[in-house]
Structure 1
Amino acid sequence: MSDRPLNTKPMQRNGHAVLPHRRAVLGGLLAAPFVMRSGPALARPSRIASLDYALAQHMLVLGSPPMALADAHEWDKWVAEPPLPADIIDLGTSLSPNIELLAALRPDLVLTTDFVGMAEPQISRMAPVERLTIYSDGGTPLPKAFETVRRLGTILGLEERAEAYLAETESFFAACAERARPFREKPILLLSFLDPRHARVYARPGMQQDVLDRLGLQNAWTGEGFYWGFATVGLEELAKAGDAVAMADYMPPDIKATLEQSPLWLSLPFRRNRGPIPVLPTVAAFGGVPAARRWATLILDALERQAA
Structure 2
Amino acid sequence: MQARSIKAASFPKPHVASIDWAAAETLIAIGIEPAAIADLSGFRASFSHLPAMNDVIDLGSTWEPNLELLDRLKPDAIYLPSWSAISRPQLAKIAPVRLCDIHGSGGDPIERARIFATDVLRDFPDAPGQGNIQQLEQRLTGVAGAAKSRRVFLLNLRSNNRFVNVYAAGSLPGSALTHVGLENAWQRPVNGFGFTSIGVEKLLQTPEASVVILNQNDRTTEMLSRLDDNILWRSIPAVRSGKVHISPPVSVFGGLVSATNFAEWLATTFDRAA
Q: In 1, distance between residues paired with 2:193 and 2:175?
A: 12
Identify if the C-alpha distance between structure 1 residues 305 and 216 changes in structure 2 by more than 3 Å, giving closer, same or farther: closer
Identify if the C-alpha distance between structure 1 residues 154 and 91 changes in structure 2 by more than 3 Å, giving closer, same or farther: same
Residue 211 of structure 1 pairs with residue 137 of structure 2: no
Identify if the C-alpha distance between structure 1 residues 137 and 102 changes in structure 2 by more than 3 Å, giving closer, same or farther: closer
Residue 81 of structure 1 pairs with residue 63 of structure 2: no
**Is the contact made by 1:80 and 1:282 (CA closer than 8 Å) also made in structure 2?**
yes
Residue 56 of structure 1 pairs with residue 62 of structure 2: no
Residue 220 of structure 1 pairs with residue 220 of structure 2: no
1:287 to 254, 257, 260: 254
What's the CA shift for 1:193? 1.2
Q: What secondary structure sits across from 1:280 in the alignment?
A: strand
Q: In 2, distance between residues paired with 1:157 and 1:69?
A: 22
Identify if the C-alpha distance between structure 1 residues 119 and 43 changes in structure 2 by more than 3 Å, giving closer, same or farther: closer
**Is the contact made by 1:239 and 1:268 (CA closer than 8 Å) also made in structure 2?**
yes
What's the CA shift for 1:86? 1.8
> Any runs of at least 4 consecutive aligned residues in structure 1 with deviations exceeding 6 A, and if so which?
none
Structure 1, residues 278-306: CA drift from partner, whole Å, max 9, x if none? 33232111111111012113334544685
**Is the contact made by 1:228 and 1:286 (CA closer than 8 Å) also made in structure 2?**
no
Q: In 1, distance between residues paired with 2:18 and 2:256?
A: 16
**Is the contact made by 2:162 and 2:200 (CA closer than 8 Å) also made in structure 1?**
yes
What's the CA shift for 1:79? 1.7
**Is the contact made by 1:134 and 1:141 (CA closer than 8 Å) also made in structure 2?**
yes
Q: Which is greater in Rg?
A: 1
Instruction: Give 1:112's aligned amino acid.
Output: L
1:237 to 192, 202, 226: 202
What's the CA shift for 1:214? 1.8
1:83-232 aligned within 5 A = 83-158=51-126, 162=130, 164-177=131-144, 179-180=146-147, 183-184=148-149, 186-194=150-158, 195-232=160-197
Give the structure 1 partner of residue 3 of structure 2: none
Structure 1, residues 2-60: CA drift from partner, whole Å, max 9, x if none? xxxxxxxxxxxxxxxxxxxxxxxxxxxxxxxxxxxxxxx94637211000110011111
Give the structure 2 partner of residue 299 of structure 1: 266
What's the CA shift for 1:173? 2.1
**Is the contact made by 1:114 and 1:133 (CA closer than 8 Å) also made in structure 2?**
yes
**Is the contact made by 2:17 and 2:78 (CA closer than 8 Å) also made in structure 1?**
yes
Give % identity: 27
What's the CA shift for 1:254? 4.0
Identify if the C-alpha distance between structure 1 residues 136 and 258 changes in structure 2 by more than 3 Å, giving closer, same or farther: closer
Give the structure 1 partner of residue 245 of structure 2: 278
Q: In 2, distance between residues paired with 1:159 and 1:88?
A: 18
Q: What secondary structure sits across from 2:247 in the alignment?
A: coil
Q: What secondary structure sits across from 1:144 in the alignment?
A: helix
**Is the contact made by 1:265 and 1:271 (CA closer than 8 Å) also made in structure 2?**
yes
Q: What secondary structure sits across from 2:232 in the alignment?
A: helix
Residue 246 of structure 1 pairs with residue 214 of structure 2: no
**Is the contact made by 1:55 and 1:111 (CA closer than 8 Å) also made in structure 2?**
yes
The structure in which a higher percent of residues are strand is 2
Instruction: Give 1:78's aligned amino acid.
Output: S
**Is the contact made by 1:188 and 1:244 (CA closer than 8 Å) also made in structure 2?**
yes
Identify if the C-alpha distance between structure 1 residues 254 and 131 changes in structure 2 by more than 3 Å, giving closer, same or farther: closer
**Is the contact made by 1:77 and 1:282 (CA closer than 8 Å) also made in structure 2?**
no
Structure 1, residues 228-257: CA drift from partner, whole Å, max 9, x if none? 121211111111231322121146344323
TM-score, structure 2 length as denominator? 0.85
**Is the contact made by 1:243 and 1:273 (CA closer than 8 Å) also made in structure 2?**
no
TM-score, structure 1 length as denominator? 0.76
Q: What secondary structure sits across from 1:151 in the alignment?
A: helix
What's the CA shift for 1:65? 1.7
Q: In 2, distance between residues paired with 1:49 and 1:289?
A: 19
Instruction: Give 1:299's aligned amino acid.
Output: L
Q: What secondary structure sits across from 2:225 in the alignment?
A: helix
**Is the contact made by 2:180 and 2:267 (CA closer than 8 Å) also made in structure 1?**
no
Q: In 2, distance between residues paired with 1:43 and 1:192?
A: 39
Structure 1, residues 135-165: CA drift from partner, whole Å, max 9, x if none? 2334221111111111111111248964x44
Instruction: Give 2:235's aligned amino acid.
Output: S
